[in-house]
């Protein structure tokens, strides 16, 4: 692991009840130049997040007082917008799908520390890119996106997206009416090697379609064997009921 200085230092909240894993993550992240705050319970994590305003949160799913999914929901309900990465031994597909719907990434144990750090930097980079992006709004069909405020509207009504969902939708809308391959999306949205796990793209496309009311896939169109495209002017879509 190569040391990297971050200036000013970014803060990582590590929520992990296994002391050995929490200690390992803390030492590795501090070595890489991060400030680290720890919590061993869900309630403690909520308090620490409010106190320290972390830049990113590593969150175990199995905690003594509440599961990580509930912690993530409460963080969002209280206005904590920091990217959340689940780090857990629960590797069932259903858990991954649930985790990715709530948070920004999902890493299973045992994990490689270099991979965890790479994923932390990737979600933080996406957040910085979104924050610094030009404020001009993008429109496609019944969806509108503001690159500066990170707001998205469906039929004029606000839609809540995770930072990864927002980054993917923004990338697709910035390249509207062009076919974008899965490899391009992995490279431009996730910015690290998924080692062939291109299924992450399908998962997030599914989330976006559901949240945007794209039930007939007329907005985010699948081009078989090639990728996806967002249609600036999709076929007529029924109004929101």
**SS3 (DSSP) at 34:** coil
How far is the CA of 190 from the CAs of 125, 167, 241, in angstroms? 9, 9, 34
pTM across the whole model: 0.58
| Residues sharing a CB contact under 8 Å with residue 102, sequence separation 6 or more, in sequence order | 69, 72, 73, 76, 84, 162
Instruction: Report pLDDT digits (tens) over 89-101.
Output: 888 888 888 888 8
Q: What is the pLDDT of residues 160-211, one digit of tens each?
A: 998 889 999 999 998 888 899 988 888 888 775 555 566 888 999 999 999 9
Return d(Cα 13, Cα 51) in angstroms, integer: 11
Give me the domains of the chain, ranges plus CATH numbers. 11-128 (3.40.50.2300), 137-230 (1.10.10.10)
Query: In which band, very low, low, confident or very high, does the pLDDT at 240 lie, cut at 50, 70 and 90?
Result: low
Q: Calculate the dihedral angle through the C-alpha atoms of 93, 94, 97, 101, rounding to the nearest 10 degrees.
A: -160
């Amino acid at each position: 692991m190569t040391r990297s200085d971050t200036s000013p230092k970014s803060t990582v909240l590590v929520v992990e009840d296994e002391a050995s894993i929490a200690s390992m993550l803390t030492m590795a992240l501090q070595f890489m130049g991060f400030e680290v705050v720890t919590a061993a319970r869900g309630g403690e994590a909520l308090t620490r997040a409010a106190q320290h305003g972390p830049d990113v949160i590593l969150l175990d799913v199995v905690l003594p007082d509440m599961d990580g999914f509930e912690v993530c929901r409460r963080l969002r309900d209280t206005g904590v917008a920091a990217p959340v990465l689940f780090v857990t031994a629960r590797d069932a597909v259903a858990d991954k799908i649930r985790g990715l719907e709530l948070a920004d990434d999902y890493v299973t144990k045992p994990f490689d520390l270099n991979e965890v750090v790479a994923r932390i930097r990737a979600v933080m980079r996406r957040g910085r890119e979104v924050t610094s992006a030009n404020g001009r709004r993008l429109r496609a069909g019944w969806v509108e996106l503001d690159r500066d405020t990170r707001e998205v509207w469906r039929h004029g009504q606000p839609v809540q997206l995770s930072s990864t969902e927002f980054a993917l939708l923004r990338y697709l809308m910035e390249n509207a009416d062009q076919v974008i391959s899965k490899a391009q999306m992995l490279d431009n949205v996730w910015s690290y090697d998924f080692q062939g796990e291109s299924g992450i793209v399908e998962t997030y496309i599914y989330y976006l379609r559901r949240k945007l009311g794209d039930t007939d896939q007329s907005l985010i169109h699948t081009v078989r064997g090639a990728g996806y495209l967002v249609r600036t002017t999709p076929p007529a879509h029924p109004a929101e009921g």
